[in-house]
Structure 1
Amino acid sequence: MPLTDNSIRNALEIKDKNIVFTDDSTFMNVHGTMSLVYFAKLTKDVDRCVNCGLTGHVIKDGFNKNMIIAPSLSLRPTFIRLYRQKYICKSCGSIFVAKTNYVWDCCQIAQPVRQMILSEAAHNASLKDIGRRFNVSDKTVQRIIDEEAKLHKKRHTESLPKHMAFDEFMATDKLSFIWLDSNDHRTGDILPRRTSYQIKQYFESFSLKARKQVRTISLDLNAGYINLVPKLFPKARIVVDRFHIVQMANRSLNSSRIKVMKTMPKRSKEYLFMKRDWKKFLESFDSIEKITPKYQYSVNYYETDLNLITKCLDLDEGFAKSYEVYQDILKAIETSDVELMNDAILDYHSLNTPMDTTMKSLRKYRKQVLNALHFDYSNGFLEGTIGRIKKIKNGAYGYRNWTNFIKRIDLQIFWLRASSSAQ
């Protein structure tokens, strides 16, 4: 069966019936590259002038020749040499050409190609790689992203979500601030700097009524944020992220383990166990094997995890008590036991170990820490969003321009998600 005109239209995604193919396609050298070129003509019967609006004064006046970048079925560049009908108005002298929704005026890129470029930009790829894929420059790719940005509305300052999450990340060359809605996980906004002055100035652009509607704000143990929140959100309760609480205790226990480990001979069983199986000290006590011995590769004999951990804890009293505090914190968070967490914080006494610093911070912000067990909100999704932002940055080999960086983040995380949910 021969290839029909309609098949070519489908391959090039042409829906405008006024575009008619005039000759067979051929291979031509375009901008130094052997390319596949189609030949087509765009003509319409036009009675009314687009400038003066008069009828009966428009005549055809030859064609304008354009080389349009078209969708490619392979890595070979594909173009359409499009002859556009040109018109002239005898009344006002205006000159204009036939229009089509396949390609914008004064543009050399077909609409399907523009959509493909946006689709590629919604994934982790550098602008140069995208431009190379569609035979355009990286500047053209950025310009298409800029045009997409103009279609999206600016932020509203009339309302704020009831539950928010704050965090920071390394954007261009300094730390930036980001917040999102803790309920629907939509990114609220990203500020170029995380200074208290900029954050305060930003949120004060919202009305006091909107800020009073905020009920909880999830964040890590950042003293700057904790001190700033009551000034901006009078009725909001601060919820310290549970992951950061465990992470602080985790690091302190690890530091104590390393300190004790360095006092032991490197061939001792305790040293080898703490060196190779260090993750077992960080596991929840309920998940540790206590009854059935198993072969321990670090010490080369059968033993339970509990017995080996106990032998190591007996080496140093401060390490043992740090381990007990760590387990209490872990269990309190796993079971949302507010009383256990409160007792662990208030009953703690200095051990001259790295755990002292962690417990000092938890005691200082005890109220906010206990809120973490009262509410289910956390910074988990926000951390995932920051992880995606870092991948965007790495995929593009870094960004120097803040505006372009934010547009790329919005395209991948916010605009694409909004359009997908609408469908």
Structure 2
Amino acid sequence: MSLTSQSIRNALEIKDPNITFIEDSHIQVIKGKESLVYPASLTYKPDHCANCGFADKIVKYGTQKVRIIAPSAGFRPAYILLKRQRYRCEACLTTFSAHSPYVWQNCQISQPVRQMILSEAMTNISLKDIARRYFVSDKTVQRIVDAEAKQHHNYQTQWLPPHMAFDEFKSTDKMSFIWCDSTSHTLGEILALRTSRTLKEYFESFPIEVRQAVNTISVDLNAGYVNLIPKLFPNAEIVIDRFHIIQMVNRAVNQIRVQTMKTLDHRSKKYKFMKQEWKQFLRPMEKLEKVNPRYHSSVGYYQTDYNLVMECLDLDDHFQIAYDTDQGLLKSLQNHDTSGFEKELRAYHQLDNAMDTPIASLKKHRKAVLNAVESPYSNGFLEGMISRIKKIKNTAYGYRNWRHFIDRIKLELAWYQTKDIATAA
């Protein structure tokens, strides 16, 4: 075999010795595009007939030309014009064609191209972009993803991690349920609906012994989850996600800030500071600059962040109390101080403003909230995973088929990452 022939075989990722090149490559217009074509043949002596098993009555029976999509090193498509040998068995009078691991039977896409398409599908790229890059249709890319997904659809019901996280996200036109392992931060499963009936049917498929081994479940303040978990997981402690706690009280402080701001003259410096630098009221107090003044364009002079915030808090007593409560709860969460957090809840009295609602919710779910203060587990990683899911959806301009969407999510976030983790371990 010449060096040139071997170089072409390496470039096209051909390892099957039964495929040989019979002519030089040439440029040919295929489907309206100038394409690089490699004429080749596939032939060998069959071991036996696939139908009857006899080997001594097989004769050659012409050839069949097929056009195989090959890896392209340039801007134009590359094809292998393959003469596939056909055979006839004189014993059973059946015919069959030569086959190669380089391309599946009844398929026109080579295995290297299939692997490159699948590798691209593991990143956040639209199917049409992948199809354009490898000179196939977007439906072909979807079929390759579907074929890979069939190898991973093993819904086991014999094991659950000791620490879990629950949440939901909008999939197609409905809200879907997702759970993950809080320790390894790996995806567990995605269900089409988040209804109590759907969750009950799914988790009851696990033996009670498996569900009893679950120690903690991190959730947001979704009443459906909070009420359902004790029925499905008798020994699990409910942990309210710390991010949602902070988000609730911060949103309340922000609403009170807006209400206070609206009582001021729109031309006043305090109004401009509260409007333009609203994030200062949500920062931890210890991170506010107290010593070195800096220029604030909102007020037009040099002042410390701390002094400006305090001047605005003095405008309304209820604003001051809500701010102090927010800061106390935030500090207790950061320090995992359950007694300090509980003290802040007990010390709070109704203000008839936006802070009343989140405090009432925290008091109602007091035990689960205190678990969140001392527990190292939260839904932060799950929120990040849902953010990635939203990007997958945005890149595709939305999905109409729920199964296609879920397969793409698992392809990018679960199946191959899980293998990598297992290999590294």
What interval of TM-score do these two structures reach, taking the shorter chain for normalisation? over 0.9
Q: What residue in structure 2 maps to residue 152 of structure 1?
A: 152
Look up the SS of the partner of 1:76 in the other structure.
coil
Deviation (angstroms), 1:245: 0.5
Q: What residue in structure 1 maps to residue 387 of structure 2?
A: 387
Q: Give the Cα separation in 1 of the matches to 2:151 and 2:159.
A: 22
Q: Give the Cα separation in 1 of the matches to 2:142 and 2:48.
A: 37
The answer as to whether partners of 1:345 and 1:366 remain within 8 angstroms in 2 is: no
Q: What residue in structure 2 maps to residue 359 of structure 1?
A: 359
Look up the SS of the partner of 2:309 in the other structure.
helix
Q: Give the Cα separation in 1 of the matches to 2:304 and 2:413.
A: 47
Q: What residue in structure 2 maps to residue 266 of structure 1?
A: 266
Match of 1:352, as an amino acid?
A: D
**Gaps in structure 1 of 5+ consecutive residues:** none
Q: Which moved more, 1:350-359 or 1:53-62?
A: 53-62
Deviation (angstroms), 1:294: 2.3
Q: Give the Cα separation in 2 of the matches to 1:102 and 1:111.
A: 6
Look up the SS of the partner of 1:125 in the other structure.
coil
The answer as to whether partners of 1:47 and 1:57 remain within 8 angstroms in 2 is: no
Q: Determine if the alignment matches structure 1 residue 342 to structure 2 residue 342.
A: yes
Q: What residue in structure 1 maps to residue 246 of structure 2?
A: 246
Q: Which moved more, 1:131-140 or 1:61-70?
A: 131-140
The answer as to whether partners of 1:118 and 1:144 remain within 8 angstroms in 2 is: yes
Q: Which moved more, 1:289-298 or 1:196-205?
A: 289-298
Q: What residue in structure 1 maps to residue 58 of structure 2?
A: 58
Q: Give the Cα separation in 2 of the matches to 1:141 and 1:293.
A: 58
Look up the SS of the partner of 1:73 in the other structure.
coil
Match of 1:400, as an amino acid?
A: R
Look up the SS of the partner of 1:29 in the other structure.
strand
Deviation (angstroms), 1:126: 2.0
Match of 2:251, as an amino acid?
A: R
Q: Determine if the alignment matches structure 1 residue 415 to structure 2 residue 415.
A: yes
Match of 2:15, as an amino acid?
A: K
Match of 1:384, as an amino acid?
A: G
Q: Give the Cα separation in 2 of the matches to 1:208 and 1:160.
A: 11
Deviation (angstroms), 1:288: 1.2
Deviation (angstroms), 1:125: 2.0
Q: Give the Cα separation in 1 of the matches to 2:177 and 2:149.
A: 21
Deviations 1:122-166 (A, max 9, x none): 122222222222121122111111111121241111121110000
Match of 1:195, as an amino acid?
A: T
Deviations 1:148-206 (A, max 9, x none): 11212411111211100000101000111100111111111111111111111111111
Look up the SS of the partner of 1:87 in the other structure.
strand
Q: Give the Cα separation in 2 of the matches to 1:63 and 1:238.
A: 67
Match of 2:279, as an amino acid?
A: K
Deviation (angstroms), 1:330: 0.8
Deviations 1:72-94 (A, max 9, x none): 11221110000011111111112
- 1:13-28 equivalences under 5 Å are 13-28=13-28
Look up the SS of the partner of 1:24 in the other structure.
coil
Q: What residue in structure 2 maps to residue 223 of structure 1?
A: 223
- 1:6-405 equivalences under 5 Å are 6-405=6-405
The answer as to whether partners of 1:88 and 1:96 remain within 8 angstroms in 2 is: yes
The answer as to whether partners of 2:186 and 2:418 remain within 8 angstroms in 1 is: no
Q: Give the Cα separation in 2 of the matches to 1:227 and 1:173.
A: 25
Q: Give the Cα separation in 2 of the matches to 1:243 and 1:421.
A: 27
Deviations 1:24-49 (A, max 9, x none): 11111212222111100111122422
Deviations 1:349-368 (A, max 9, x none): 01111011110111111111
Aligned-pair identity (%): 55
Deviation (angstroms), 1:415: 1.6
Q: Give the Cα separation in 1 of the matches to 2:394 and 2:92.
A: 55
The answer as to whether partners of 2:70 and 2:80 remain within 8 angstroms in 1 is: yes
Look up the SS of the partner of 2:29 in the other structure.
strand
The answer as to whether partners of 2:125 and 2:395 remain within 8 angstroms in 1 is: yes
Q: Give the Cα separation in 2 of the matches to 1:349 and 1:71.
A: 70
Q: Give the Cα separation in 1 of the matches to 2:363 and 2:346.
A: 7
Deviation (angstroms), 1:296: 2.2
Deviations 1:350-391 (A, max 9, x none): 111101111011111111110012210000111111111111
Match of 1:159, as an amino acid?
A: W
> How many residues were matched structurally?
422
The answer as to whether partners of 2:337 and 2:374 remain within 8 angstroms in 1 is: no
The answer as to whether partners of 2:68 and 2:110 remain within 8 angstroms in 1 is: yes
Superposed CA RMSD: 1.3
